[in-house]
Amino acid sequence: IIAMIHPYSSVGGGALVSGVNDMSIAPRPTVLPDRNGEATKKKNTEPRTERESARDRAALEAWASMGDTPREEDGDNDSGEEKSNKGQQRQPPNSSPCPPLNRRDRSDSCAIEESLSLLPMQTTLPGPKLICFDGDQTLYSDGANFENSPKLSKYLYLLLKHGVTIAVVTAAGYEYQAEKYELRLSGLLAYFKERGLEGEDLERFYIFGGECNYLLRLGNDYKLHAVREDGPGGWVVSTKFFAESPGNWSDADITSILDRAEACFQSSVKDQNLRARIIRKKRSVGLIPKVDEMIRREALDETVLRIQTELDEAKVTLPFCAFNGGRDAWVDVGNKRVGVQVLQSYLGIPAEETLHIGDQFLNTGNDFAARSVCPCVWITSPEETTYILKSILRLAGVPLMALMNTPLAATGENGGSESAEGGDEEVGKKIVDFEEADRRSSRVMMDVYTGEYITKMSKH
């Protein structure tokens, strides 16, 4: 009966194959070898002994005690020896060199990496070669920083480690002030450093600020560096062949779009009596709430629809994006369609091998434009992003058991360091303490709208 339960079913909900759903199973012919080594068929008509029944009950209880952890195969060893402790795991032949782990830590990253190493030799994993992400509400909460997401950090690390290019295509526009983007991604970059990601794996991580205006790449010092725009190999020069590329924009056209958008924002504030202020940057203009105030979503949508109509009727020649950011509204010169196209062209990755993941696919969102240049996944939270990446790794051949759980941080639940069973030293490298990363980043506050640093007043 145990053998017919799907190995990945949860206890109490395990489906039985071929419609078997009770204990009344008809005897089935069993193939047994005779004295000459040839297989013969024998009916299971003899009653089961009390010892066999007790052994089966013990095996069923051992499997059930594992919770939602998949049952391991017993191999070819049918000696019938009972385990001294119920639920104890036996080390399979040709097992991992990693020390034995307890049930909570059995899905450590070393197990996942070992599973990936068993895949067919190739330059990248099966699946997308370029994965683009929105920032707010996709990798981290809206207006927050990437600080405490160990599972998401692990999956991004594994994708980079095995040839996938990762790009954060975000509306956050701090020009080429790399330290401000680094603050927003502080926990993720700390994870890469602790895991020892290096070389070409690091250089496959990009961030595209201002939708498509400021391209930065991660270096061997675990810091972001501006990618050269002009000259041989510059990303602006090398992508000028398509009309919407930033290399073909004129300053006069940029100024015209921003002037019209700013005028629309001013009229919306007056008409709707909004408690908001307007800020203008080099290639964007935004409507943000005043301190301790909130702008209703309906008012933001109304403002965005007004601007879209105004710019469409003016027949502006440059691509733009007017969108509702959830708590604010912005107009950027350029959009994510251009951003993804620039990355595809600059990196030489075709559209069918590109994937964009974001949360704003309505006509008042800034991920909407990316639908015309690559497949997209519409999510609503960083937790859903984590699930999507887990699915990509699973479809690439990573065993499900290796992705089920995530190891704890370097410090355990009680403050002590985690170790494997039997007193062995901690498995693999020390994983970043996300709580400590959160505390450190909270010492430096930044206005996510303007990019200005905020001095935190001491309580003493």
Q: Which residues are catalytic?
A: 134, 136
| Beta partners for residue 16, in sequence order | 5
Is-contact 340 247, C-beta < 8 A?
no
- Among 246, 409, 420, 402, residue whose Cα is nearest residue 333: 246
CA angle 370, 376, 381 (to 5 degrees): 105
In which residue are the tokens 């070819």 written?
76
Give the integer Cα–Cα distance in Å for 177 and 190.
19
Cα 209 from chain centre: 19
Q: State how far the Cα of 244 lies from the Cα of 130, in Å rounded to an integer.
A: 21
Rounded to whole angstroms, the Cα distance separating 460 from 457 reads: 9
Query: Around Cβ 265, how many Cβ atoms within 10 Å?
Result: 25
Residues whose CB is less than 8 angstroms from the CB of residue 334 and which lie 6 or more positions away in sequence, other chains included: 210, 211, 212, 213, 246, 283, 318, 319, 320, 321
Structure tokens at 369: 């434009």
Burial class of residue 94 (count of CB atoms within 10 Å of its CB; 0-12, 13-18, 19+):
exposed
